[in-house]
Copies of this chain bind each other. A is one copy, B any other.
Amino acid sequence: MEVLEAIKGRRSVRSFEDRPVEKEVLVLLMEAGVWAPSGGNAQTWRFVLVTDKETLRKIKMVSPGLLGRPPAVIVICQDVKEALQKGGTMGSETLTKMDSAMCAQNIMLTAHSLDLGTCVIASFHPKAVQELLSLPAETVPQLLVSVGYPKRVPSAPKRKTEGIYFFEEYHG
């Protein structure tokens, strides 16, 4: 699938078929993630791939943003201790979020090009997810990406076009 076609065709999918996604494909998605740039090439991202139904059920309970029943969730984490060492508070507080998000976008575009549906989720309780996945204190979940074969694909929310683009400088 062409890049721009994938970018425009990707939807946030929140309704999934009840069938698993091949593990090799899920690994491919995480590998696509790490081809994102990272601030100062820090690469402090960590991933937990969750497909176990009981763990997914528990994650869902602490994640208001996780809708539907995806057969897989990729938990994008950051080693905030390493990020702090490498990039100071800019690294641990800002770049970790940005790197995770660019990584998530790679995952979602690749998934869409393989006819999979995804949704990126920031609304969850990081500490609870951390505990559920036995993550050490410094490995902090930043984003969840649900992955599955879409049951329903919503239409695209209309993109704002007014007052969004400025040329050379702001014109209020």
- Which residues of A are interface residues toward B (Cβ below 8 A)? 1-4, 6-8, 10, 12, 27, 30, 32, 34-37, 39, 41, 43, 45-52, 55, 90, 94-95, 97-102, 104-106, 108-110, 112-113, 120, 122-123, 132-136, 139, 143, 157, 159-160, 163-170, 172
Contact = CB atoms under 8 A, between A and B. Distances in A.
A47 B95 CA distance: 20
Q: Give the number of copies in the complex.
A: 2
A123 B39 CA distance: 9
B47 A32 contact: no
Contact of A4 (B49, B110, B132, B167): B110
9 contacts: A7-B109, A10-B37, A34-B160, A46-B163, A49-B168, A52-B168, A97-B98, A133-B169, A133-B170
A34 B98 contact: no
Given A10-B35, A46-B163, 11 more contacts: A1-B3, A3-B6, A3-B113, A4-B32, A8-B32, A27-B165, A30-B165, A48-B167, A49-B167, A97-B98, A135-B170
